[in-house]
Amino acid sequence: MNLRLPAGTPGAKIIGLGSFQPENVVTNDDLARRVATDDQWIRDRVGIVERRIAEKDTSLVDMAVEAGSRALKDSGLEPSAVDTVIVATCTMTAPIPNAAAQTADRIGITAPAAFDLNAACAGFCYGLGTAADLVRAGSARNVLVIGAEKLSDWVDWDDRSTCIIFADAAGAAVVTAAQSADEVGVGPVSWGSAGDQATTIRVLEESTNKLWQHGQAVFRWATTQIAPVALDAVARAGLSPADIDVLVPHQANLRIVEAVARRLHKEGAREDLRVADDIVHSGNTSSASIPMALDHMRTAGRIRSGETALLVGFGAGLSYAGQVVRIP
Amino acid sequence: MADTAEILSGLAEIVEEVAGIDTAEVSADKSFVDDLDIDSLSMVEIAVQAEDKFGVKIPDDQLAELKTVGDAVSYIEKNQ
């Protein structure tokens, strides 16, 4: 006897966005009082002017709850309509229990499938790709995907090469079924990993137990290998670079963002392509950076409903993932 | 295969594009960091473009050894 499977749907779309940042602003001058650096040095290397760092008593889950609730409110769905919650994160201080189940509970979502996903800074795009396929397969109806990171727990505040980069935040999206093919708002994911370079971004378990990265190696990888992933995502969606209105790369370093944009321009992206630069005032917030940049750009009127955005995440693993989405 | 002068002028064009430094400033005796004020990330961008242009591999550990423009020119000349 054959096993029965759900009918599935034409595909998925994003119907809500939300984000959360802690109130505490840390400027470059604040960091210069702690490590040997200065405002101009930081702006030149990474393009960051200020970042938000959570208070000690604000947890990763607190931020996930805020961003998730805001995305849900934006979608118009009741918490009871959500049946799956994915939290993309790599910065939980304890691996047990996961963030997703408690986040769902605090938002008022009852008994959803709930799991954490660790693809570091590519986590949101991994989560979005997973959510879209769950919806398409009929395994989930409405999925809340949250990228939440409290990187400040893992930053070595005496290491001037990394403490200037990372910050805390959460960003979220609500994914639901498209009723018809022309309503589909999440394109196929282009994803992969490079485990041979796993040691280039890691927690130094043998010494500080803090985050460390080989800046030059990661920069070389990101500036050469990520634009092809983004272009592959565009091709898989049946589009060309000229169809893209907004480019939202993971906000790792403004110079990486600009390098990816330059490559896209060489491949036919339009002159008026808008490029996310949320890192300038938010820092690198790993899996939170892409949904938060989308949310901030929409609030600022820089992107409009129905526009086509190209997302691409990349980071520790090394991992990468990208897809084309329609702005809700 | 490019000769020394061709490598120097090709490298100078890359340095100009990446770091906005006039090609005339990019002479063999100049230190990338001390004279041309090029940071470690720009060095990576220069290396990536030089790899494409001259068909060489410049790994990060080698890159750290290339202190002057002349060092880079002779490395490329030997390894192209």
Segment A128-170, tens digit of pLDDT = 999 999 999 999 999 999 999 999 999 999 999 999 999 999 9
Interatomic CA distance for residues A214 and B40, integer angstroms: 12
Reply yes or no on whether the pLDDT at B1 is more than 80: no
Q: What is the pLDDT of residue A71?
A: 98
User: To 10 degrees, the CA torsion angle through A248, A249, A251, A255?
Assistant: -110
Average pLDDT over residues A116-121: 98
User: To 10 degrees, the CA torsion angle through A167, A279, A95, A172?
Assistant: 120
Reply yes or no on whether the pLDDT at A9 is more than 90: yes
Q: What is the pLDDT of residue A287?
A: 98
Q: Could you tell me if B39 lies within 8 Å of chain A, comparing CB atoms? A: yes
Query: CA-CA distances (angstroms) from residue A287 to A27, A121, A125, A228, A317?
Result: 22, 4, 8, 20, 13
Q: Which is catalytic among the residues A90, A125, A250, A296? A: A250
Q: CB within 8 A of A176, min separation 6: which ones?
A: A12, A13, A15, A75, A77, A135, A141, A142, A143
Amino acid sitting at position B69: V
> Which residue segments constitute the domains of chain A, with CATH numbers given?
12-182 (3.40.47.10), 185-326 (3.40.47.10)
Query: CA-CA distances (angstroms) from residue A92 to A87, A206, B66?
Result: 11, 19, 40
Interatomic CA distance for residues A215 and B33, integer angstroms: 17
Q: What is the pLDDT of residue A288?
A: 98
Query: CA-CA distances (angstroms) from residue A5 to A2, A83, A137, A138?
Result: 9, 18, 9, 8
Cβ A67 vs Cβ A170: under 8 Å: yes
Cβ A58 vs Cβ A31: under 8 Å: no
Reply yes or no on whether the pLDDT at A192 is more than 90: yes
What is the CATH T-level fold of the domain B4-79, as seen in this structure? 1.10.1200
What is chain A's Cα-based Rg? 19
Reply yes or no on whether the pLDDT at B80 is more than 90: no
Q: Which of A277, A286, A281 is nearest to A246 (CA)?
A: A277
B39 contacts A45? CB cut-off 8 A: yes
Tell me which H or E stretch contains B77: helix B69-79
B63 contacts A216? CB cut-off 8 A: yes
Nearest CA in chain A to B19: A44
Q: Could you tell me if B56 lies within 8 Å of chain A, comparing CB atoms? A: no
What's this model's pTM, rounded to 2 decimal places?
Answer: 0.94
CB contacts, 8 Å: B60 with chain A: 214, 216-217, 220
pLDDT in tens, B19-72: 999 999 999 999 999 999 999 899 999 999 999 999 999 998 899 999 999 999
CB contacts, 8 Å: B47 with chain A: 220
Percentage of chain B exceeding pLDDT 70: 100
Q: Which of B25, B3, B14 is nearest to B53 (CA)?
A: B14
Interfacial A residues in 35-74 facing B (CB < 8 Å): 44-45
